[in-house]
Structure 1
Amino acid sequence: MMLQVAQAINPDSLLEKNDFLSRFWKDVFLKAEEKNASDIHAESLVNQGFCVRFRVDGILQTIYPTDSSKKIFEATDFIDKLKQIANLSLLEKKRMLDSRFSLSLTESSYRACLTPGLEGQNIVLRVIRQANTPSLSDLNLPEETLKDIRSSALKAKGLFLITGPTGSGKSTTLSSIINDCVDAKTEKVISIEDPVERTLDYVQHEPVSKDFPFNDAIRSALRQDPDVILVGEIRDEESCGLALKAASTGHLVFSTLHTNSAIGTISRLLMLAEPYQFAESVLFIGAQRLFPKLCTHCRLKKDDLYYREKKGCEHCSFGIKGRQAVLEYLCDLDPEDIYLFQKNSKALEEKVKNKILDQIFALSEQGILCSSLRENYV
């Protein structure tokens, strides 16, 4: 894999040209902003040819081709133009490439990932917006959850983890917690991220790079008299060890892990560290998911259950409008439970609060989530 960061050509200038492909991609980027797309997929497909799709509220929507659009160019023409905009090598055809770029046009940044396919190359752009950080209350989490989050995040030291798959809103939730619970004016807060997605007032943001990787950034942060450290992701044994060292030596550390449940996070930590290294440091483990919210204008009700209107309406996309965070978690952990976890996990399983499935049932009864999730998630 090759990572390309330097920008030889201003991507905005490529979009201002008056040829068809420049106008096409300019329109795509503007539409992605209008629809608040999280990802842009430019695909070379076997049967459909060239295709552009947006991920909006977790669902892929086809933007091009439309029923009325005519095939003027080949897929390679569209892809090559986007490669120029994203500063990806036009000569490379067989390897995976990554790059980053920004557009003044949209005031957004993008992470590009190019991969070779059967019918040509495919590019996925992750859209990174400098949106306002939502407050904890805006996340619409249960009051008990908010109380426990605040109680843990207000501690002077320890490790606070939010886990979940890619795109589950972990970074947004952590930013909201830090914004609400940490006084960055009077405390030294260092954020180590790849990339920096949201900037917070009075926070020292440090983007990692090939020359300044995560583990070096954590070591550097520990030498800068920090009170709070945000480690964008615990990736390996070394980063886990450094985060735990910081948490056990008087610092409050926030971070993320790619695990699917609160209990699964304990198992993952045991793969990365010994129980004595984290049993007394872990303050909070939250496993998060994002689920599509029903459009309140067109949702269907049947036998006191709510379902999605798949055609949607003028207010939504295919019956979906926004996404809802769902968080199960462990807090106020007894170190003894962690020591005994490998022999008997039931003690901790019984302490998981607001389990994801329980919340799905509650939110579907309120008409916020589709009732079909109840069957699909079991």
Structure 2
Amino acid sequence: MISHDLIERAPKVLLHDHLDGGLRPQTVAELADETGYDGLPTSDPHDLAQHFVDTARRGSLEEYLEGFAHTVGVTQTREALQRVAREAVEDLADDGVVYAEIRFAPELHTMGDLELDDVLEAVLDGVHAGQATRDITVAVICCAMRTAARSYEIAEVAVRWREQGVVGFDIAGAEAGFPPTQHLDAFQLALRECFHITVHAGESFGPRSIWEALQWCGAERLGHGLRIVDDITVTDDGDVELGRLAGYVRDRRIPLEMCPTSNVHTGGARSIAEHPIQLLRQLRYRVTVNTDNRLMSDITMSGEFTNLVEAFDLGLDDLQWLTVNAMKSAFWPFDDRLRLIEDVIKPRYAALREPATAGPRDAAR
């Protein structure tokens, strides 16, 4: 089995990572003190980290999201947003991520003196500062909230900052009762501007959510998308039958931004071993692996890969396939994606296969 050390050295691509779900516990405590936020259950970083994990592991998306009140609460200033964005870039690069798309909801950070453009400027300043000290490429995705009425504004500000590193528009939050079609004007704006779209769909709600995201909202990728398995039947004889939607998603090579650890915590899967990512990978869907919320789920990309290696006996070839899938599916310009695949990802995986650095199984490949 591939070692965790080898996985840490492997190049990784991350498409689905929430800025407000990936703060360092120490940073949360320090920002609370600096900004006067008094809602934290504890100021001890170790205990605070455990609180976020305990809150996230209660088995539903709605309960999972409760911890974000604190991370959002401490990031209402320009300085706080710059810091957490910079630290996110540093932490991802230190974990071997070579390309990442970090997403966040700008509207959640306007409860103080900041306007939407101020929020974008601060986050992008932090991202650029992080990139200046690390070997990583990072882009930003703006999320609107399903339960709010500012999606058109968010689409506008996302497009407005596209030249500075914003590459896509998303909508997030509880799915049940809040269909993406309630925000069609925002999606239509993004489409008219030739702007990239990904939609949280099929995380906690069924194929209908996925269908609306694709057919009405113009989604190019599906955030999570694990409920596509509800349209797939595996017979007792092991035969697989795809419904029309499941077949469409596979035929069109629509990327699935899968977040295994988070999905277990929100009740989307009972365990990593029972996560539909293995079935979907075997059926050759465009599967990608992501962290979702590194703080809440106490996970890294290396941790996600390690869990999948242990559950499904994956090898370096499998990890490279998943990584290339993600890079192909990124919202970064095509030439730059190709360069990262050919000049960074493939050569680094090739180096890991050398007998001096690889285990017997991978050396034999």
TM-score, L = length of structure 1: 0.31
Higher RCO, 1 or 2 (CA under 8 Å, sep at least 6)? 2
More helix by share: 2
| Rg larger in structure | 1
TM-score, L = length of structure 2: 0.31
